[in-house]
């Protein structure tokens, strides 16, 4: 991890501890919490675009439907998106550290933190650091702190879930992979977790040779995908995001009309390109995997 990433993680951890300590101090002046109060913190990178928010809402609604008696709070990990929403829409969305501090202050004792990140990259590392800070503080201040706090794993973090994602993609694009190639484009990262996209590519190849995985930033670049396409007889391409939301990256970097978008560059190579502008959050199969990950950490609260 680069120095900037390390400093950011440490800063988030320190902020989390200070916020939590403030909540403990304030709550300690009132009645001590006695009853168990469980909650879910739904965490996503975030989106300020209607298309992107539709995917987030779909996943959040699925969580609420699965746990109708449990309060579900929401937090974004992208401060850029949070500031944009506040500036343009007048809405305030908390980051995880603040959301958890509020939950501690309000008497939640057991919290399951649901990550909807695709890979265990820098964003997830920061979230895990915040959760560890609250868990550590709870050991020293059990009242009114959290009795237990758990954190789910991202979608592409374990081989089993990677294989499940590949199966969902095969079912989702059953007709498309018979008609041409499906190119799934993820965000990518310079974090070592970028390797998860390569693992997904291998899992998808076991489903069909007409699946291709690339990233906007990372190892599986456009040129790598193009090289594989050229070695095949494919002429028709379905271009879809390998992201929770179909937001800015999808509408501009992947499927935009700019000359450097994936769509434009593939069309310049002579391919017939059909963009699919839906995020993974709008896919029931992906939502089911996310819910299973939540179920695992929810069960941990009772152990």
**Catalytic pick from 117, 187, 191, 249?**
187
Residues contacting residue 30 through CB under 8 Å, at least 6 positions apart = none
Helices 3-28 and 122-140: crossing angle in degrees, nearest 10, is 30
How far apart CA 131 and CA 150 sit, in angstroms, is: 8
> Contact at 8 Å (CB) between 73 and 38?
no
Token pair, residue 166, equals 């590949």
Specify whether 187 is catalytic: yes
The DSSP string of 76-144 is ES-HHHHHHHHHHH------HHHHHHHHHHTT--EEEEEE--SSSSHHHHHHHHHHHHHHHHHHH-TTT
Q: Which residues are catalytic?
A: 187
């Amino acid at each position: 991890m680069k120095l900037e990433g390390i400093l950011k993680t440490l800063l988030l951890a320190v902020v989390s501890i200070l916020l939590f300590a403030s909540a403990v101090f304030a709550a300690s002046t009132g009645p001590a919490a006695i009853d168990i109060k469980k909650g879910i913190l739904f965490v996503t990178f975030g989106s300020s675009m209607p298309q992107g928010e539709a995917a987030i809402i779909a996943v959040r609604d699925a969580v609420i439907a699965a746990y109708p008696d449990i309060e579900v709070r929401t937090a974004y990990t992208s401060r850029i998106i949070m500031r944009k929403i506040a500036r343009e829409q007048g809405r305030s969305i908390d980051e995880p550290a603040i959301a958890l501090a509020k939950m501690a202050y309000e008497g939640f004792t057991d919290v399951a933190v649901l990550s909807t990140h695709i890979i265990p990259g820098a964003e997830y590392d920061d979230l895990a650091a915040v959760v560890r800070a609250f868990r550590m503080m709870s050991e020293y201040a059990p009242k009114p702190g959290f009795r237990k706090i758990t954190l789910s794993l991202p979608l592409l973090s374990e081989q089993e879930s990677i294989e499940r994602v590949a199966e969902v993609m095969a079912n989702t694009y059953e007709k498309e992979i018979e008609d041409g190639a499906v190119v799934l484009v993820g965000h990518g990262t310079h974090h070592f977790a970028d390797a998860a996209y390569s693992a997904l590519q291998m899992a998808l190849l076991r489903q069909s040779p007409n699946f291709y995985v690339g990233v906007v930033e990372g190892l599986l670049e456009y040129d790598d995908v193009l090289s594989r396409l050229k070695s095949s007889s494919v002429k028709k391409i379905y271009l879809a995001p390998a992201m929770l939301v179909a937001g800015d990256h999808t509408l501009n970097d992947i499927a935009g009309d700019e000359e450097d978008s994936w769509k434009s560059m593939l069309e310049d190579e002579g391919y017939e390109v059909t963009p699919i502008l839906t995020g993974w959050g709008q896919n029931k199969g992906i939502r089911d995997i996310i819910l299973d990950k939540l179920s695992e950490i929810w069960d941990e609260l009772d152990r």
